[in-house]
Amino acid sequence: MTLTRIFPSPRGVSLAFLLAGALLACACVPAAHAFGVNVPDTANPLAGSSDAARKGEELFGRNCQQCHNTRGHGGKCPQLVRGAWGPGGANSDAFMHDTIANGRAGTQMGAFGAALSAEEIWQIVAFLREEAVRVKAADKARVDDEEDLWH
């Protein structure tokens, strides 16, 4: 079957592509916008606060550890301290906040925005970022120690 049979005029084809593009764009809208939750596009306002990270660690233990394992190192769900989630990774603080607040469709990640305040979610993000830096340093130290074995 050809497009001319489905859409007899070029205008119909253009309209079909326009509608398809609009549908695709809607599918790519972050979950925050889909649920009407306003997620800032900025970095974590609590970044670098050891007090916030300490509180975030306690919140993580109560709300996240059962799936993401101790300190976010991965369990039945993804680890949160390396790769895209780690230092310099592709996932921004705002993306992490949005994911915790609104969950992720098609995954086991539920929404915690009704149970946790925005500040508490930022505290969890602060904890995960601090833990990711610690893990990165520990990984580098281990690699450096192993290199010494070959000299």
Q: Tens of pLDDT along 107-131?
A: 999 999 999 999 999 999 999 999 9
More confident residue, 33 or 130: 130
Q: How many structural domains does the chain have? A: 2
Confidence (pLDDT) at 25: 39
> Which range has the worst mean pLDDT, 23-37, 94-108, 123-137?
23-37
Which tens digit of pLDDT belongs to each residue from 40-96? 567 899 999 999 999 999 999 999 999 997 877 777 888 888 888 877 788 899 999
pLDDT of residue 71: 78
Instruction: Give the Cα separation of 20 and 14 in Å (integer).
Output: 10
Q: Is 59 in the same domain as 125?
A: yes
Q: What is the CATH number of the domain that holds 138?
A: 1.10.760.10
pLDDT at 26: 38
Instruction: Look at residue 35 in the predicted model and tell me its pLDDT.
Output: 43
**How much is the pLDDT for 22?**
42
Q: Indicate whether 27 pLDDT > 70.
A: no
Q: Does residue 19 sit in the same domain as residue 83?
A: no
Contact 55, 114 (CB under 8 A): no
Residue ranges making up the domain that contains 140: 40-148
With b for 16 or more beta-carbon neighbours within 10 A and e for fewer, the 71-87 pattern comes to bbebeeebbbbbeebbe
**Quick one: which of 75, 74, 57 has its CA closest to 126?**
57
Q: Are 53 and 130 in contact (CB under 8 A)?
A: yes
Q: Rounded to an integer, what distance in angstroms lies between the CA atom of residue 131 and that of residue 129?
A: 5
In the numeric block, which tokens belong to residue 17?
A: 């592509």
Q: What are phi and psi of 118, to 5 degrees?
A: -60, -40
pTM of the model: 0.67
- In terms of domains, do 30 and 44 share one? no
Q: Which residues of 32-54 are buried (b: 16+ CB within 10 A; e: fewer)?
A: beeeebebeeeebebeebeebbe
User: What was the pLDDT predicted at 88?
Assistant: 77
Q: What is the pLDDT of residue 103?
A: 97
8 Å CB contact between 101 and 37: yes
Please indicate, yes or no, whether residues 90 and 133 belong to a single structural domain of this protein.
yes
Choose among 67, 69, 95, 86: nearest CA to 134. Answer: 86
